[in-house]
Chain A
Amino acid sequence: MLLRMAWRNLWRNRRRTLITLVAIAFGFLLSVSFTVFSDGYYGQMIDAAARMGAGNLTLQPLGYQTKPEAGKVIADTPVLIRTVLKTAHVRFAAERVISQGMAGTAVDTTGAGILGIDPAAEGRRLFILDHVVQGSGLTSTSGSQALVGSLMARQLELKIGRKFVITTTDRHGNVVSGLLKVCGVFTTGVDEVDRSIIVAPIDYLRALVGYAPSEATQVAVFLDSARHTDAVCASLSLAARAHRAEALSWQVMMPDLAGLITLDKAGNYFFQTFIFLLIMAGILDTVLMGVMERLREFGVMLAVGMTPGRVWSLIMLETFWLGVVGLIVGALVSIPVYWYLHSFGVDLSPLMQEKQVAGGVVLDLFIRARFQAGHIANIFGGVFALILVAGLYPAFLAARTRPVETMKII
């Protein structure tokens, strides 16, 4: 009966209840929209970061992250990749050889990071391969062709077909040099990348630094969703150990980006908490007004034997209904908004003058909302809990009613 009474009480002042429901629904909608939009934005950033080179997670030789040395390699990479590809949520894995050195022409020299890849296996997953602005991509794993960044090309006055020298150290620490011919120039928009990265065929680089055909510096692992990164990282750590390697998430590989996202999320949480508190204040007002108007009624209930605890429960049940209906309305309103943001996305590029780069990643300004059940469940739970908290004080007041004071009559 209490549940029924609470439901009916909710509709005694329809206008007030409807206004409160609109406030809850609007707050929920705002929070959900912001969250799915942010999740889409972060997801795109992480995907972009993965495509910049290192994948959603990376398998590297033990200690390479803190002290990169050419002598540190992963052995039997084909075996390791087969294991990786059998792991749940893994979509793709690619071996790479990485070397640090110098690039030089008759004009100038510059520091360079040389990335050895298998172009056929990579397809266009690697961000650089998708941003070749002159010439063409790599065509084999063993030739002496190379892609260079546009800023490096300008500095070294490199053009398609021109040759340049790379100097690096082999696995034993000896200085070695090789001659590469420019087959393409890429522009990613990230100056650091465009100024210092050279992409070369993996077997060419292996041969240069003295690696065996089954050895590599890195296995980049791409997942079907970045949210599985930690779980896959954990499940691959044992397999990696067998190859004297370790599994590192994108957060470890790209700490700047991870920090940026963490900071942005903290701002979002603050903003959403503020929205939730506003909702809570509105609900407190509604429930409190409802209670103050009905003190006489509570007096009657208490007079005929209702315990203060049950009066408290009645108000909490009213608040419960308010939360349930408010969240249902909020969800119904949020679904089409999410659908629109997911299907059509939002293009922020007209608002930005230049290409945006953050944490070493070029930001895609066309953002599509992404649904993450855990985040939406958190909003549901958070809003609902706050609504219930808002009911505590009015419920306490109602339970404390003294019949003799409120009724002024027996």
Chain B
Amino acid sequence: MSAQIVCMEQVDKIYVNGEEKTYALQNMNLTLNQGEFTALCGPSGSGKTTALNLIGILDSPSKGRIVVEGKDLGTLTRSAQAAMRKQRIGFIFQAYNLIPVLSVYENAEFVLMLKGVPMPERRAKVMAILDIVGMADKADRRPHQISGGQQQRVAIARAVAGEPALVLADEPTANVDSKTADGLLDLMERLNTQRGVTFLFSTHDPRVMERARRIVTLKDGTVTNDSVKQ
């Protein structure tokens, strides 16, 4: 049996605006195991992004408990949260969010630099991952010099370069054409199967849902369906 990576127990996320309370998540329960390739689906406003924010320690729940790799996130200090994100979680954003002043190589290297990986090891790892994502020949380019799909490949490289236990991907194919989206999904699938990286997507994209081996459906902040493909 695979190790449990994420465990959300009765999690609420409430946004308060004056006297009005909005439940982004309500009594959400979710577990993710190592090596899963899971899609979090649901209409806009269903709480997908909020769930990813909470698991990624970018936000904190109003109620309930989230455990990532055995650590209760509610007990972590701000610097411990940053360390946890750096060491164990990778992020892929819809808008790529590469650092514009860094080259493709440096963007992929960024997390390794934060982790304090020595230069020779860093170089080997970055070149290996750029090779996997097919961007090794464009290592010196800046983000504005490559296409959106290529930027997302670099973002994937950045997310997995640090060998995280979990990669959180928010609508990773939303801003690219279908051919590029297929390529990105192939890439993430390959990283999942070959490197054992756990992926959790939030998505509307039927292609992502088609590829995912587990689909968790959210509606009004609550899990309404959780199915594993055979």
Interface of A with B (CB < 8 Å)?
Answer: 1, 5, 8-9, 12, 296-297, 300-310, 402-404, 407, 409-410
B37 within 8 A of A: no
Query: Among A9, A296, A301, A410, which residue has its beta carbon within 8 angstroms of that of B168?
Result: A410
Given contacts A5-B101, A300-B97, contact A410 B86 (CB under 8 A): no
Give 30 CB contacts A-B under 8 Å.
A8-B101, A12-B101, A296-B97, A297-B97, A297-B100, A300-B97, A302-B82, A303-B58, A304-B86, A304-B91, A304-B110, A305-B85, A305-B87, A305-B89, A305-B111, A306-B82, A306-B86, A307-B82, A307-B83, A308-B82, A402-B58, A403-B58, A404-B58, A407-B97, A409-B95, A409-B170, A409-B171, A410-B49, A410-B170, A410-B202
- Considering only CB atoms, which chain A residue lies closest to B202 in the complex? A410
Within 8 A of A (CB), among B79-137: 79, 82-83, 85-87, 89-91, 93-95, 97, 99-102, 106, 109-111, 113-115
Inter-chain contacts of A402 with B (CB < 8 A): 58
CB distance from B191 to the nearest CB of A (A): 17
Residues of B within 8 A of A (CB): 49, 52-53, 56, 58-59, 78-79, 82-83, 85-87, 89-91, 93-95, 97, 99-102, 106, 109-111, 113-115, 158, 162, 168, 170-171, 202
**Nearest CB in chain A to that of B91: its residue:** A303
Chain B residues with CB under 8 Å of A300's CB are: 91, 93, 97, 99
CB closest residue in chain A, given B106: A1
Contacts A301-B99, A304-B85 aside, 4 further interface pairs with beta carbons under 8 A come to A1-B110, A5-B99, A303-B91, A305-B89
A304 to B158, CA, bound (A): 9
Complex CA distance for A57 and B95, rounded to whole angstroms:
74
Contact residues in A for B82 (Cβ distance below 8 Å): 302, 305-308
CB-defined contacts of A404 to chain B, threshold 8 Å: 53, 58-59
Q: Which residues of B contact A407 (CB under 8 A)?
A: 58, 93, 97
Q: State A296–B114 Cα separation when bound (angstroms).
A: 19
> In the complex the two chains form, what is the Cα distance from A309 to B83 in whole Å?
12
For A409, list chain B residues within 8 Å (CB).
49, 93-95, 170-171
CB contacts (< 8 Å) of A403 on chain B: these are 58
| Interface pair B97/A305, CB less than 8 Å apart | no
Residues of B within 8 A of A297 (CB): 97, 99-100
**Which A residues are in CB contact (< 8 Å) with B111?**
304-305
How distant is B88 from chain A, measured CB to nearest CB, in Å?
9
Do A5 and B102 contact each other (CB < 8 Å), given the known contacts A296-B97, A303-B91, A304-B158? yes
Let me know if B52 and A9 touch, CB within 8 A: no
Closest chain A CB from B162 CB (angstroms): 8
A10 to B20, CA, bound (A): 43
Closest chain B residue, CB of each to CB of A7:
B101
Closest-CB distance, B158 to chain A (whole angstroms): 7
Complex: A308 Cα to B170 Cα, angstroms: 23
Q: A306-B82, A410-B49, A410-B56 are in contact. Are A9 and B101 (CB under 8 A)?
A: yes
Residues in B with CB closer than 8 Å to A1 are 106, 109-110, 113
Q: Are A305 and B83 in contact (CB under 8 A)?
A: yes
